[in-house]
Amino acid sequence: MKEKVTLPATQKTKDGAIRKKSTSITVRLLRAITITIISIVAVICAVVGFQLYKKNIAQFDEFTAQQFSNIERSINLFIQNGKNTVTMLAENPTVKNADETLYNYTGERKDIVYTHNGKTEQDITALFVRMDKNYEEFKEIYMGTRWGGFVSSLSEEDEQGFDPRTRPWYKAAAAANGEVIITPVYISPISTGGSPVVALAQAIKDPEGAFLGCIGLDLNLTDLASRVSSIRIGKTGYCMLMQNDGLILADPKHTDYNLKTLKETDIPAFNEIDKMKEGSAFIMLDGKTWKVSVFSLPEVNWKVALFIEQNEILSLFYTLLKNMILIGLFMFVLYFTLAFIFAGALKRYFKRLEIVFGKIASGDLTDRLAVKKNNEVGRIMMNLNTAIENNHTMICLLKDEADKMNSIGSQLSSSMEETAAAIKQIGENVKGVKEKAMSQAAGVTETVATVEQINGRLSRLVSSIEMQTESINESSVVITRMAENTVKIAKTLDQNNELIKTVYGQTKVGKDGARTANEIVKQIAEKSASLLEASQIIQNIASQTNLLAMNAAIEAAHAGESGKGFAVVADEIRKLAEGSNLQGKQIAAVIKETTEIIHDITEAGSRAEKTFIDVYNLVSQISEKEDSILEVMREQEENGKHVLDAIKRINDVTSEIDSASAEMLEGGNQIGQEMQKLAEITLETTDSMNEIASGADQITIAVKEVSDITQKNKASIENLSNEVSKFKV
């Protein structure tokens, strides 16, 4: 019976710790191969499956597009046939010659007795019946005129009051400008079968081009719906036909819902289809998943929905996926078997290695591996044998050297004890020197600090003196400017004084002129009063002249014919008197206004004279003040000169102090630099002594550690000698 390669459940290490059992290399190899194969198969299945899925969907979309193209062609052909028929009938001479004799159900014309025996109606009816019999899909052909007449291919009578002009097909065709219109699907009357129909209609014009009426054609959709229902998409697919408003025209799977709207069915999937204009989607219908593709028929406002089960679309995908899984399982079994065989051989190889390494671990270096093949495994065994042989030689040498090292260790231990005592004495001497160096360093440090304080104070003194010098210079500049400004102000005051004197003289002249002007204005006012009296006299003379002219006119009237000439002269005199009186009044008014203006001028002149007197007095006072200010400014100019001389003397003394302070500061800085150098030398000396003391301590510690290591080395050599003696060589 072969031994198992796996380790026991638990193992104890040399230090007593418990180590859990690890998984064997065979199991790990098989597990890695299994995971690799499964991953490869899964990735291949996923990639290929996804490509197949997309290809199946694309093939179905292409197939449904072809099916829709065929359906669209059939429906368009069906509708176009009806359109062509309507257009042909609308252009037929028999139809274009329709008149008011067509039977009218509206009852609007009481003066006409309508019958169905009129030649025009008989010809049109025969034409409609003949066309209706030629095409099975034609349900009815009919015509309505602008007078309300109506004729149909059916023989049934319409109800009295029927007016074709009110019907939707008539209104739509009349408004279509000669185009053929298509009405929504509706259910024909039960008398005609009650089947779904769609109406095609077109406007008719008479031979003169005037609007005559509209012709219509009802297409029976029963056969079309049957053909659509018979279409098969693959094995499970089918076709649904509906209007854009959701009315189902053909649904072979749900015939009960035909001619109902999608919303009326209460089927959620149909509600989704109702919302779709075009496109495709997956829906749940009748407990199955279907793919639906919706296409629009814009000419008739219909939609076509093509259904097919999802399982049918993906049947090829499922088959190929199943085959790939089987191939993957076969590959897994094959590679797993090969891996298991390889793992068995590898297990035997590791078992042999385990035995050899076990002997090596126990100290037996006499065993060797048998090399059977010159391959990778054989070369590994040869190298392992070489390593064991080298270890054998090394252990033999170690045994000899261990004995020699044991003797040397004893001698080294005694020498290190003597060295430790000498090093201890050196350390104590170094500590004494270190304490003295530290005392000297402290004194030098205090001296440096004192010198730095002195230098700092000298520096602040120099800064203060420099600031004082700057302030004195600034004060000197300011006082100089002030003195210059004082001189300028004095000159300005002199000029102002001259100007004030000039103004003073001009003011005196203005005062005298204002007084003279007032006297002249008073004289003008007195003369104006005389003119006013003269104007009054002129008015009185004019009044008296007017009275005399009136008396002369009266006397001339009494004289008769002999006094006419005198009467004319009297009338002219009267007119002159009236004009003189009027001019006198105007002159009086002007003189009165002039008198008022002169009175205002007199008052203004009096005020101006008073103002000139006030200005004269103020100018006199200003002149006196200017003299006082000028005297003060001259005194200030003299004082400024004295202050400027004093500041110059202060500035000279400050400059001398500044120079002396700068020399003191420079000397202090030199002393500080020398003391700083001394402090640095002292600090370096102290650091050196610290390093020497630290080095002595470290040497003491190192010697002690070396002594301890020597003792440990001696013990280790003894242990090594004991352990080496355990090997079997």
* Among 42-56, 300-314, 430-444, 622-636, the range of highest mean pLDDT: 300-314
Contact 552, 570 (CB under 8 A): yes
Phi/psi of residue 418, each to 5°? -65, -40
Residue 33 pLDDT class (50, 70, 90 cuts): confident
Nearest Cα to 600, choosing from 524, 530, 527, 683?
A: 524
Q: pLDDT at residue 66 above 80?
A: yes
Per-residue pLDDT tens digits for 491-520: 776 776 677 777 667 767 766 776 777 677
Range in 51-55, 380-384, 629-633 with the lowest mean pLDDT: 629-633
Q: Give me the half-sphere count of Cα atoms (radius 13 Å) on the Cβ side of residue 686.
A: 17
Q: Which residues pair with 205 in a beta bridge?
A: 211
Q: Please state whether beta strands 138-145 and 181-182 pair in parallel, antiparallel, or not at all (unpaired).
A: unpaired
What whole-number distance in Å separates Cα of residue 647 and Cα of residue 649? 5
Q: What integer pLDDT is reported at residue 441 of this predicted model?
A: 66
3-state helix, strand, coil in the chain (%, to 5): 70, 10, 15
What whole-number distance in Å separates Cα of residue 260 and Cα of residue 241? 12
Domain parsing of the chain, residue ranges: 221-312
Nearest 5°: CA angle at 58, between 57 and 60? 65
Q: Which residue has the higher pLDDT, 104 or 345?
A: 104
Residue 1 pLDDT class (50, 70, 90 cuts): very low
Q: What integer pLDDT is reported at residue 40 of this predicted model?
A: 81
Per-residue pLDDT tens digits for 207-250: 998 999 999 999 988 888 888 888 888 788 899 999 888 889 89
Q: pLDDT at residue 487 above 90?
A: no
Query: Which one-letter DSSP state was computed for residue 64?
Result: H
Burial zone of 413 (CB within 10 Å; 0-12 exposed, 13-18 middle, 19+ buried): middle
Q: What is the dihedral of CA 101, 104, 107, 113, to 10 degrees?
A: 40
Contact 465, 657 (CB under 8 A): yes
What whole-number distance in Å separates Cα of residue 391 and Cα of residue 680? 61
* Residue located via tokens 């368009």: 76
Q: pLDDT at residue 191 above 70?
A: no
Per-residue pLDDT tens digits for 513-546: 767 776 776 777 676 666 667 667 777 777 777 7
Share of the chain above pLDDT 90, in %: 10
* Among 47-51, 91-95, 230-234, 576-580, the range of highest mean pLDDT: 91-95
Q: pLDDT at residue 18 above 60?
A: no
Identify the CATH assignment for 221-312 out of 3.10.20.30, 3.30.450.20, 3.50.50.60, 3.30.300.30.
3.30.450.20
Q: What integer pLDDT is reported at residue 573 of this predicted model?
A: 76
Q: What integer pLDDT is reported at residue 145 of this predicted model?
A: 92
Contact 720, 402 (CB under 8 A): yes
Residue 5 pLDDT class (50, 70, 90 cuts): very low
Residue 2 pLDDT class (50, 70, 90 cuts): very low
Q: Which residues pair with 279 in a beta bridge?
A: 294
Q: Which residue has the higher pLDDT, 41 or 144?
A: 144
Q: Give me the half-sphere count of Cα atoms (radius 13 Å) on the Cβ side of residue 484.
A: 6
Q: At what angle do helices 222-229 and 25-90 cross, to 10 degrees?
A: 160
Residue 420 pLDDT class (50, 70, 90 cuts): low
Contact 308, 236 (CB under 8 A): yes
* Residue located via tokens 């197949």: 52
Please compute the mean of the pLDDT values over residues 407-421 and round it to a whole number: 66
Per-residue pLDDT tens digits for 115-154: 677 888 899 999 999 988 888 888 889 999 999 989 988 8
Q: Which residue has the higher pLDDT, 721 or 235?
A: 235
Q: Give me the half-sphere count of Cα atoms (radius 13 Å) on the Cβ side of residue 721.
A: 15
* Residue located via tokens 């290591």: 709
Q: pLDDT at residue 104 above 60?
A: yes
Q: What integer pLDDT is reported at residue 8 of this predicted model?
A: 45
Q: pLDDT at residue 155 above 60?
A: yes
Per-residue pLDDT tens digits for 664-717: 667 667 766 766 776 677 677 677 667 776 766 777 776 677 667 777 766 777
* Residue located via tokens 């120099």: 462
Q: What integer pLDDT is reported at residue 159 of this predicted model?
A: 74
Please compute the mean of the pLDDT values over residues 456-476 and round it to a whole number: 70
Please compute the mean of the pLDDT values over residues 643-665 and round it to a whole number: 70
Distances, alpha carbon 385 to alpha carbons 348, 374, 375, 403, in Å: 18, 14, 15, 28
Q: What is the mean pLDDT of the chain?
A: 76
Share of the chain above pLDDT 70, in %: 69
Burial 677-712 (b: 16+ CB within 10 A, else e): eebeebeebbeebeebbeebeebbeebeebbeebee
Residue 6 pLDDT class (50, 70, 90 cuts): very low
Contact 728, 365 (CB under 8 A): yes
Q: pLDDT at residue 281 above 60?
A: yes
Q: Please state whether beta strands 196-205 and 181-182 pair in parallel, antiparallel, or not at all (unpaired).
A: antiparallel
Per-residue pLDDT tens digits for 619-647: 677 767 667 776 766 776 677 677 667 67
- Give the type of residue at 686: T
